[in-house]
């Protein structure tokens, strides 16, 4: 603007203050409507036509332009019997006025989108080995809401639950944890159930089967993350095998005490020393060429839940939850209503009694049963 001064918005609707040249002298207030008036006069070069276009009186328009010129301490328009012309300062100010109005319009649109849950940043956690299961839904959400950025974090379920409880994540997609029912600071619901599969060596006798029952895996060694990383994953595996297979599984814990996915070291599976069980979509997505995917006959089935902090009324969060529920129902992601038996529920109770942690609780990459 004038003397290199920049306009600033004050706490008064539709008002810009243009600082004057003197120390501490802000000058008169300039309203956004004054900018619109000036732009209209500059385009029409006629006060009468500009007033008619703006639906105001010509004297009122003249007074507004005069106030704008006093605020800027410069003449913007030359008035004569021949008509109205822009001064050099007026030509310069015209482009700034247009930019200010355009910026204000963009700001209004952006704020409206954020306030309505149409834009912003949603912090979402995705449990290890769950990304492939929910990927189609996340892609569909991005297509429908390009203004919302999903800032994703990958970790084991219990770490994601802790971050949701602490408010560091808006939501988390986790493997269903039995102890979720005990959490008071986290709400959750199932978003997808589906078929499990095992990853086994191509030389394994079961590699040629179209599918297997869980009970056929009773003699196998199951590969799992270290107990220190995801203790409830082992509890979930035990529950699943006991309830649906009738056996207590033998487990081989991976050596890597990190959040790397299970495909970090395939040697135990390649050599036939162990197998791994997970959602079929995930198994097929990460399976190397020399390992075979064999579906597991239902039951059991995997279950993925979405968790969010209790009492979080964020418009952005509830926009996302509404989309997730709609996508889940439209695609029949939870059509199977398989329930655990009374014996399994009793077993879960024993697990809860022996797992006394904070919500943050409760450990878990949890049971993958539906």
Checking if the pLDDT of 355 tops 70, the result is no
Q: How far apart are the C-alpha atoms of 132 and 337, rounded to whole Å?
A: 22
Q: How far apart are the C-alpha atoms of 156 and 160, rounded to whole Å?
A: 7
pTM for the structure as a whole: 0.64
How sure is the predictor about 113, in pLDDT bands with cuts at 50, 70 and 90?
low
Q: Which two tokens stand for residue 284?
A: 């097929």
Question: In the prediction, which pLDDT does 267 show?
Answer: 86
Question: In the prediction, which pLDDT does 340 show?
Answer: 47
- B/e letters for 234-244, b = 16+ CB within 10 Å, e = fewer, are bbbbbbbbebb
pLDDT 10s digits, 246-293: 999 999 987 754 444 444 568 889 889 999 999 999 999 988 888 999
Checking if the pLDDT of 17 tops 60, the result is no
Delimiting residues of CATH 3.40.190.290 domain(s) in the chain: 120-354
Question: In the prediction, which pLDDT does 209 show?
Answer: 95
25: which residues sit within 8 A by CB, 6+ positions away?
19
Average pLDDT over residues 317-338: 87
Question: In the prediction, which pLDDT does 361 show?
Answer: 33
Looking at per-residue pLDDT, the higher value among 16 and 185 belongs to 185
Checking if the pLDDT of 199 tops 60, the result is yes
365: which residues sit within 8 A by CB, 6+ positions away?
127, 128, 156, 157, 158, 174, 175, 177, 225, 230, 232, 233, 236
- What are the φ and ψ backbone dihedral angles of 209, each rounded to 5 degrees? -80, 145
- The residue behind tokens 């329930």 is 339
Checking if the pLDDT of 364 tops 50, the result is no
Angle between helices 231-240 and 157-165 (to 10 degrees): 120
CATH architecture of 2-115: Orthogonal Bundle (1.10)
Question: In the prediction, which pLDDT does 350 show?
Answer: 45
How sure is the predictor about 82, in pLDDT bands with cuts at 50, 70 and 90?
confident
Checking if the pLDDT of 14 tops 60, the result is no
Q: What angle do CA 232, 236, 239 make, to 5 degrees?
A: 135
Q: How far apart are the C-alpha atoms of 358 and 239, rounded to whole Å?
A: 22
Question: In the prediction, which pLDDT does 91 show?
Answer: 92
How sure is the predictor about 227, in pLDDT bands with cuts at 50, 70 and 90?
confident
Alpha helices, DSSP H only, in 45-121? 47-54, 58-72, 88-115
Checking if the pLDDT of 3 tops 60, the result is no
Lowest mean pLDDT among 19-33, 68-82, 91-105: 19-33
| 191 closest CA partner among 118, 133, 278 | 133
Q: Which two tokens stand for residue 348?
A: 């879960």
Delimiting residues of CATH 1.10.10.10 domain(s) in the chain: 2-115
Return the SS3 of 187.
Answer: strand
pLDDT 10s digits, 120-156: 889 999 998 899 999 999 999 999 998 888 999 888 8
Q: What angle do CA 64, 33, 62 make, to 5 degrees?
A: 20
User: What proportion of the chain, given as a percentage, has pLDDT over 90?
Assistant: 42
Question: In the prediction, which pLDDT does 365 show?
Answer: 35
Return mean pLDDT, the chain: 80
Lowest mean pLDDT among 83-92, 171-180, 329-338, 356-365: 356-365
Q: Which fold has domain 120-354?
A: D-Maltodextrin-Binding Protein; domain 2 (3.40.190)
Element at 221 (helix H, strand E): strand 221-224
Average pLDDT over residues 209-213: 96
Q: How far apart are the C-alpha atoms of 15 and 18, rounded to whole Å?
A: 10
Q: Hey, which of 170-179, 180-189, 312-321, 331-340 has the most confident mean pLDDT?
A: 312-321
How sure is the predictor about 300, in pLDDT bands with cuts at 50, 70 and 90?
very high
Checking if the pLDDT of 21 tops 70, the result is no
Checking if the pLDDT of 15 tops 60, the result is no
Sheet with 8-9: list strands edge to edge: 8-9, 15-17, 29-31
């Amino acid at each position: 603007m004038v003397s290199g001064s920049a306009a600033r918005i004050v706490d008064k609707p539709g008002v810009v203050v243009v600082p004057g040249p003197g120390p501490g002298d802000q000058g008169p207030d300039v309203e956004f409507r004054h900018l619109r008036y000036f732009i209209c006069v500059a385009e029409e070069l006629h006060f009468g036509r500009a007033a008619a276009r703006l639906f105001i009186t010509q004297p009122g328009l003249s007074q507004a332009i005069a106030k704008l010129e006093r605020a800027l301490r410069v003449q913007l328009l030359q008035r004569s019997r021949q008509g109205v012309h822009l001064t050099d300062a007026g030509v310069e100010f015209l482009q700034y006025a247009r930019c200010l109005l355009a910026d204000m319009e963009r700001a209004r649109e952006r704020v409206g989108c954020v306030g309505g849950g149409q834009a912003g940043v949603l912090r979402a956690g995705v449990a290890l080995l769950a990304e492939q299961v929910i990927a189609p839904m996340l892609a569909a959400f991005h297509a429908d809401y390009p203004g919302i950025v999903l800032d994703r974090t990958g970790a084991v379920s219990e770490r994601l639950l802790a971050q949701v409880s602490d408010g560091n994540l808006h939501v988390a997609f986790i493997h269903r944890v039995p102890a979720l029912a005990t959490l008071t600071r986290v709400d959750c619901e199932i978003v997808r159930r589906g078929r499990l599969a095992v990853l086994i060596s191509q030389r394994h006798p079961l590699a040629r089967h179209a599918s297997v029952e869980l009970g056929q895996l009773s003699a196998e060694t199951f590969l799992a993350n270290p107990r220190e990383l995801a203790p409830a994953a082992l509890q979930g595996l035990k529950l699943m095998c006991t309830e649906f297979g009738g056996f207590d599984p033998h487990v081989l814990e991976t050596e890597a005490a990190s959040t790397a996915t299970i495909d970090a070291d395939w040697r135990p599976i390649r050599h036939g020393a162990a197998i791994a069980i997970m959602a079929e979509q995930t198994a097929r997505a990460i399976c190397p060429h020399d390992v075979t995917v064999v579906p597991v006959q239902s039951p059991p089935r995997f279950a993925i839940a979405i968790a969010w902090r209790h009492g979080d009324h964020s418009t952005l969060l509830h926009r996302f939850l509404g989309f997730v529920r709609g996508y889940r129902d439209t695609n029949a992601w939870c059509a199977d209503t398989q329930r655990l038996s009374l014996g399994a529920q009793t077993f879960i109770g024993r697990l809860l009694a022996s797992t006394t942690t904070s919500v943050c609780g409760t450990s878990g990459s949890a049971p993958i049963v539906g």
